[in-house]
Structure 1
Amino acid sequence: MARVQTKIHYKGEYEDFLVFVDDQADYEKWKKDSSVPLTHFVSTFTVFTTQRHGVQGPVNAAPHSTLDNEFGTHNEDEVIKIILEKGTLQESEAPERLGIRNETQGPRVAH
Structure 2
Amino acid sequence: MNFTLAGIFAVLSHAIPPFLPLILAILALLVLAQLIGRLRGYRLTDYRCLPAGIAALLAGLSTLWWLPMLTYSRLGLVATLTDWAALIAAALGVALITWLVLHPLSYLVRGPRGQ
Give TM-score, length-normalised by structure 2.
Answer: 0.22
Q: Report which of the two has the higher share of strand.
A: 1
With a CA cutoff of 8 Å and minimum separation of 6, indicate the structure with the bigger relative contact order: 2
Q: Which has the higher helix share?
A: 2
